[in-house]
Structure 1
Amino acid sequence: MRLHHLLRATALAGAILCGQSLAAAAAKPPIADFFNNPEFSDAVLSPSGKYLAVRLGGKDKRDMLGVVDLETNAVKVVGNFSDADIGRYAWVNDKRLVFNATDKDLAQGDMRYAPGLYAINRDGTGFRQLAMRDGKPFITSGNPNLQRELLPWHTYLLDQDGAQDSDFIYVEDNSYSGPGQLNHIDLVKLNTVTGRIAGVTERPGDSKYWLLDAQGEPRLTIASDKGTSSMYYRDPATKAWRKLGDYDSYTGRGADFRPLAFGPDGTLYVVAWRGGDTSAVYTYDINSGKLSDKPLVKLDGYDFHGKLIMNQDKLVGVKHLTDAMGTTWIDPAMKAMQEKVDTILPNTVNLLTLPKRPESPWVLVTAYADIWPKRMMLYNSQTQKMTLIGESHPRISPNDMAQTTLVHYQARDGLTIPAWLTLPRGGSKNQPMVVLVHGGPYVRGSSWGWDPQVQFLASRGYAVLQPEYRGSTGFGNKHFVAGWKQWGLKMQDDIADGTRWAIAQGYADSKRICIAGASYGGYATLMGLVNDPDLYKCGVEWAGVTDINLMYDGSWNFTSDMPDGYKQFGMPQLVGDQVKDAEQLKATSPLQQAARIKQPLLMAYGTADMRVPLPHGTKFYKAVKQTNPNVEWIEYDEEGHGWKLPKNRIDWWGKVEQFLNKNIGSPQ
């Protein structure tokens, strides 16, 4: 197989790269174009940059692992299963890869949590199973010389590349006491050729996170105990652990930095606040225990979120998230290359990924925009030519998509709230609007880019507002802390204040607004209908929390994967204490307030959901139906916390479209 055949299957029309006709298609894009699985998701350069590992798949076909020789453009399939898809994969070195298994055709209720681990050479030789998949203890190869005991099912790839200069990698051996109950992670050094363990790193406590240094050796770990996280540094000479500091595992209070990466010279880079509201990148002196006086990277109005880009010798750039992902290059040559790529692709964010030890001119480019789903390309730094590898949603035309803008508005108590506003093409005033509330809630909700849910709603003529209400992370400590114990209270007010802002600005028709969301967003949808019945004409919620006490107590016949530590140490501080805040939790319970909801409501839950188990939905549905006849219930038997299967995503969003059209789709 040749690279151009692969490209032919996933290529954009030339007009996509150069700019298309502005003629808009009369027909709405089909639901499946938004919610089918991505046709192309990722690619990884080998350490030398001479080879490219890609996941190959297609409609009704299992995903396979392929390797492209970038000198000859030849593609070879090196990994595939008859009963599973290729999951995660990584380069061990320039010759060898590791990968595990997944199944894109199974939802959570049918999934097995033993992905296995395998290794193979880039030419398809040297195959070795390293860890059990689905509890099977031995490889089935037909060769008795290859049949040996495997690593246990709870062995996983570490989300770090390591040195990539030998046949060894570090893998995680996770110890669980139940679903969601992680006790600790052991770090195991593994020979990917022989399958033998070369050692297990001694840990100073119940480690939950490991950080390798630039030489690929374990240098730092974070251990947790009773709601406290402790950072330990491992001396490279003595192998002894030394504590660097403690902090609260859930609120973050305590030591004012978090580890980020080690540089080639051993420098520890950290994320720290130094008394400010937003975090920035500093260096940390291991010997003196002091942070650098000035930050290496500080983002105006945003906490630092990103990664450092290094070559063998030095730090060359920083990838970071503000409104969108971007890169600040320290190396002048890379800065010039970025400018050249941006000239070729002027309408997208273009993220460059370098090989670890480049021996070729190839650089991986990931390009996207609010109206443009992700595309991946290869840039040749010698010829300055771009080659398309693949695109996630090739049937989506950017000319049919809507633009997304980061806006800000004032909450009633004066706090500034960021929000994402997407207006349908061809109209900007007095549109029917969906207020889409993110889950979490203590996460960042969104960033500038193509979002299938948002773009689908916009393609159907709806404006979409996504508030980053207080408690959302990434916008400073003040914004985060302001959301503690504010479920159904000030967090809810922020969402309502954003809705009224959109009306005042003329973006939204005050009589045609629906609130929607999943998980915490589902909770906020229900509380929005309770608190602001004049504002929201209808609600759409899926996998939504309906009672905070149910999160604590669960149901005897349904399994929850909510970590016990979070319920014991995190929720009392962030959400509410069952004893001290009993009255507040009752007043902010959608289940307790169900009789107050009179608006039309669309609900959906997954039978196999272990994060918000099914009783959240069934108990609320039974309660609300007593006083509200306009409630629709959908249950997806095999699904968990959200919809994994395309058929269910397509079915769900089709029902959402019908529900919205019925309730806010035409002027009243």
Structure 2
Amino acid sequence: MSGYLPHPLHLLRLLRIALLCACALASPSFSAAAGAAPPPALADFFDNPAFSAARLSPSGKFIAVRYNKDNQRDRLVVIDLADHAIKVVASFADRDVGNFQWVNNERLVLDTTDKTIGPGDERYWPGLYAVNRDGSRFRQLVQASGAFLQERVVANNILPPNHFLVEQTGAQNSDEVYVINPKREGMHGDGDLKHVNLLRLNTVTGRSETVRRPGQAIGWLLDHKGEPRICITLDKNMQTIWYLEPASNQWREIAAFDAYLGGKDAFMPLAFAPDGTFYVKSARGKDKQALHTFDLSTLQLSAEPLVVLADYDFDGELVTTRDKLLGVRYLSDARSTVWFDARMKALQAAIDSALPATVNLVDVPARAEAPWVLVRSYSDKQPQRYLLYHAESGKFNAVGSTHERIVPARMAEQELVRYKARDGLPVPAWLTLPNREAEGKRQRLPLVLLVHGGPYVRGGEWGWSAEGQFLASRGYAVLEPEFRGSTGFGKAHYHAGWKQWGLKMQDDLADAAKWAIAQGIADPKRICIAGASYGGYATLMGLVNDPALFQCGINWVGVTDIKLLYTGHWSFTSDMSAGYLKYGAPALIGDPVKDAAQLHATSPLQQAARIRQPLLLAYGAVDRRVPLYHGKKFVEALKPHNAQVEWVVYEEEAHGWSLPKNRIDFWGRVEKFLQRHIGTAGAAGDG
């Protein structure tokens, strides 16, 4: 008989004392009287979480948790699920635990970061360390460089700092992991990527061995036993996929195609199943990417896909134990899992029944010796939380929540809508309405049209978003279009955005705002366009192209001139590769010579005098994706014609805000800016 235990006393007491990261499984109801309460504080949305990750050991007997106490350093904690014993196995005085994974049932590997400083002030590389689950046999494997103070004695065989942990876990039955060593051009190793070496590293002895590569490797894939099996090389614009034959230990070419533009037979390696089957993602000449198998003897894709989605490209992963393929996790509007294993299908049904209205992703141990599985549960209103589920008793134990101060009942609903652009193209968009609008009061709201970056990426998915929920908590409707050029919605939707910066991609955004007006959602006199990176570019072009539609704009780390992406500036070096700028960008964005007239006409910098609306601009001083000169040049061009410009530079930040203080400062500015220019009935929250 199953049961639901929001507060298991024995575990909760231990977690409160040692971790302080237990969370309630049921959220308190939001009373009618709370309607007059101020909105949640800025920090509730944009602070670093106390609890941030959890992983089951291969046996399922232990769980490793990354957690900080009283906003101090993130540490790595291991809990014995049999007796609830808790052990802090890794902590540093001047660093935070970063990525971590189980090497085997006894040992973990981890790198580090420093969450108190921005990219411009970084003094260390992430390094790499290994430790047993009881805290013993701690060893440094990769240098962190700088003035890092190692608190424990370490042995020799420490790799130089430019080595990074491979996230693929392999078999988890030895003391070995794999690390990559990117080699870059330039005297200081900060130029274009030349190739990526792969090394097998013993976490006990520190000894390493470099894997022989077939060419200028840019990517590697391990098989299910944890052995290197696929290598991807790049020569100019041609990407080649190689397979390492187990019998001969020789690399064999199995496919080649354009790295930037793809092609009919192009595919992306995904994973090897326990039986050796090779799974890939490919459109196979159709509009949508699907999950296929690839025959390594005939070099042919399977005629029929294993998983295909009607409205989305396949994006996902295999879910396996060490000896069986259990299912496939995929992303449609939200994440879900199709289970091939009958037991897992029944277990998922039981979990979903106990945790309704949430996405519940089940992580299984590689070689289960205990009945525990780890559940990651979230919704549009509920930030991700981790729960342990006992497969035999049907009971839950709470582990932690990534935003513990967020009250789901006070959050807004998000839905996927579709509208038609002026040329008939259907465009998906994410709509988030303030919580009070759920009662039917959804007429004529102030609207923030939030434009994703990339632009050739998927913008969002169903789930909790700090930015969208923050804006909704302040009384704004939020609309986030997956404009043409966005990936994940098929080849036609993606290709329709090629060379359409400032043109049809921009029309899609204006048409989204007009759709919201026609639906009675948006007040036509209170619409602001906002976004980062490409979204910042689109914000500026929205103010140029549609001044009557958009009353204001918010651009952070945004491109201000397409030609600057190619030519750069003496003051800073962009991190865009020469290969992409030569072979990819001309086809996707525009050729700087052949399309010079178009790039000039769609340059916000060249059109700056036409922008008269209020504008908030924010940039990172050490941004290498969109260097600071983009913003500086634009402000210089804007100031003679526009007195309503707010300008802020975060000196230690790069392409986005890594520090809570800067996220809170920026979104506090956004809140005040929106309040001044499009207004809302929502009161300012406690920052």
| TM-score calculated relative to the size of structure 1 | 0.97
Q: CA deviation at 1:21?
A: 5.2
For residues 619 and 110 of structure 1, the distance between their equivalents in structure 2, rounded to whole angstroms, comes to: 25
Aligned with residue 62 of structure 2, among 51, 58, 79: 51
For residues 195 and 569 of structure 2, the distance between their equivalents in structure 1, rounded to whole angstroms, comes to: 26
3-state SS of paired residue (1:41): strand
Partner of 1:311: 321
For residues 161 and 81 of structure 2, the distance between their equivalents in structure 1, rounded to whole angstroms, comes to: 35
Counterparts in 2 of 1:111-190, with a 5 A limit?
A: 111-112=122-123, 114-134=125-145, 140=150, 143=153, 146-177=154-185, 178-179=189-190, 181-190=192-201
Matched letter for residue 528 of structure 1:
G
For residues 492 and 650 of structure 1, the distance between their equivalents in structure 2, rounded to whole angstroms, comes to: 29
Aligned with residue 545 of structure 1, among 556, 559, 570: 559
Judging changes above 3 Å, is the alpha-carbon distance between structure 1 residues 486 and 461 closer, same or farther for their aligned structure 2 residues? Answer: same
Alignment pair present for 1:4 and 2:13: yes
Whether contact under 8 Å (1:107, 1:645) holds in the other structure is yes
Matched letter for residue 183 of structure 1:
K
Alignment pair present for 1:486 and 2:496: no
For residues 142 and 461 of structure 1, the distance between their equivalents in structure 2, rounded to whole angstroms, comes to: 52
Partner of 1:340: 350
Matched letter for residue 274 of structure 1:
R
| Gap runs ≥5 in structure 1 | none
Whether contact under 8 Å (2:29, 2:409) holds in the other structure is no
Q: CA deviation at 1:15?
A: 4.0
Counterparts in 2 of 1:402-481, with a 5 A limit?
A: 402-427=412-437, 428-481=442-495
Judging changes above 3 Å, is the alpha-carbon distance between structure 1 residues 100 and 338 closer, same or farther for their aligned structure 2 residues? Answer: same
For residues 12 and 389 of structure 2, the distance between their equivalents in structure 1, rounded to whole angstroms, comes to: 15
Aligned with residue 245 of structure 1, among 255, 280, 283: 255
Once the two structures are superposed, residues 39-60 of structure 1 have per-residue CA deviations (whole angstroms, 9 ceiling, x without a partner) of 2211001100001111120333
For residues 254 and 3 of structure 1, the distance between their equivalents in structure 2, rounded to whole angstroms, comes to: 54
Aligned with residue 98 of structure 2, among 87, 103, 116: 87
Q: CA deviation at 1:179?
A: 3.4
Once the two structures are superposed, residues 178-223 of structure 1 have per-residue CA deviations (whole angstroms, 9 ceiling, x without a partner) of 43622211111111101011x2111111111111111110000111
For residues 180 and 456 of structure 1, the distance between their equivalents in structure 2, rounded to whole angstroms, comes to: 38
Alignment pair present for 1:602 and 2:616: yes
Partner of 1:501: 515
Alignment pair present for 1:285 and 2:299: no
Alignment pair present for 1:373 and 2:387: no
Partner of 1:523: 537
Aligned with residue 213 of structure 1, among 203, 218, 223: 223
| TM-score calculated relative to the size of structure 2 | 0.94
For residues 325 and 105 of structure 1, the distance between their equivalents in structure 2, rounded to whole angstroms, comes to: 32
Whether contact under 8 Å (1:140, 1:147) holds in the other structure is no
Partner of 2:568: 554
Q: CA deviation at 1:607?
A: 0.8
Which shifted more, 461-470 or 30-39? 30-39
3-state SS of paired residue (2:387): strand
3-state SS of paired residue (1:271): strand
Partner of 1:359: 369
Judging changes above 3 Å, is the alpha-carbon distance between structure 1 residues 397 and 142 closer, same or farther for their aligned structure 2 residues? Answer: closer
Q: CA deviation at 1:134?
A: 2.0
Which shifted more, 111-120 or 544-553? 111-120
Whether contact under 8 Å (1:22, 1:399) holds in the other structure is no
Q: CA deviation at 1:269?
A: 0.8
Judging changes above 3 Å, is the alpha-carbon distance between structure 1 residues 97 and 444 closer, same or farther for their aligned structure 2 residues? Answer: same
Alignment pair present for 1:72 and 2:86: no
For residues 94 and 324 of structure 2, the distance between their equivalents in structure 1, rounded to whole angstroms, comes to: 44
For residues 34 and 463 of structure 2, the distance between their equivalents in structure 1, rounded to whole angstroms, comes to: 21
Q: CA deviation at 1:22?
A: 6.3
Kindly report the root-mean-square deviation, in angstroms, between the aligned alpha carbons of the 2 structures. Answer: 1.7
| Gap runs ≥5 in structure 2 | 1-9, 682-687
Partner of 2:659: 645
Once the two structures are superposed, residues 499-546 of structure 1 have per-residue CA deviations (whole angstroms, 9 ceiling, x without a partner) of 101100111000000000000000000000000001000001100000
For residues 326 and 23 of structure 1, the distance between their equivalents in structure 2, rounded to whole angstroms, comes to: 36
Q: CA deviation at 1:135?
A: 5.2
Once the two structures are superposed, residues 250-285 of structure 1 have per-residue CA deviations (whole angstroms, 9 ceiling, x without a partner) of 222353322111111111011111221001111111
Counterparts in 2 of 1:580-659, with a 5 A limit?
A: 580-659=594-673
Matched letter for residue 500 of structure 2:
Q
3-state SS of paired residue (2:591): coil
Matched letter for residue 5 of structure 1:
L
3-state SS of paired residue (1:61): coil
Whether contact under 8 Å (1:3, 1:73) holds in the other structure is no
Whether contact under 8 Å (2:316, 2:328) holds in the other structure is yes
For residues 156 and 132 of structure 2, the distance between their equivalents in structure 1, rounded to whole angstroms, comes to: 20
Once the two structures are superposed, residues 222-263 of structure 1 have per-residue CA deviations (whole angstroms, 9 ceiling, x without a partner) of 111102111111101101111111122222235332211111
Once the two structures are superposed, residues 407-458 of structure 1 have per-residue CA deviations (whole angstroms, 9 ceiling, x without a partner) of 0011111111000011112231110000000000000000000000000100
3-state SS of paired residue (1:426): helix
For residues 657 and 294 of structure 1, the distance between their equivalents in structure 2, rounded to whole angstroms, comes to: 50
3-state SS of paired residue (1:133): coil
Count of aligned positions:
662
Q: CA deviation at 1:559?
A: 2.8
Partner of 2:397: 387
3-state SS of paired residue (2:523): strand
For residues 233 and 34 of structure 2, the distance between their equivalents in structure 1, rounded to whole angstroms, comes to: 55
Once the two structures are superposed, residues 136-169 of structure 1 have per-residue CA deviations (whole angstroms, 9 ceiling, x without a partner) of 79x95675xx442411111110010011001111
Q: CA deviation at 1:459?
A: 0.5
Judging changes above 3 Å, is the alpha-carbon distance between structure 1 residues 563 and 411 closer, same or farther for their aligned structure 2 residues? Answer: same
3-state SS of paired residue (1:633): strand
Once the two structures are superposed, residues 87-116 of structure 1 have per-residue CA deviations (whole angstroms, 9 ceiling, x without a partner) of 111111000010011001111101246211
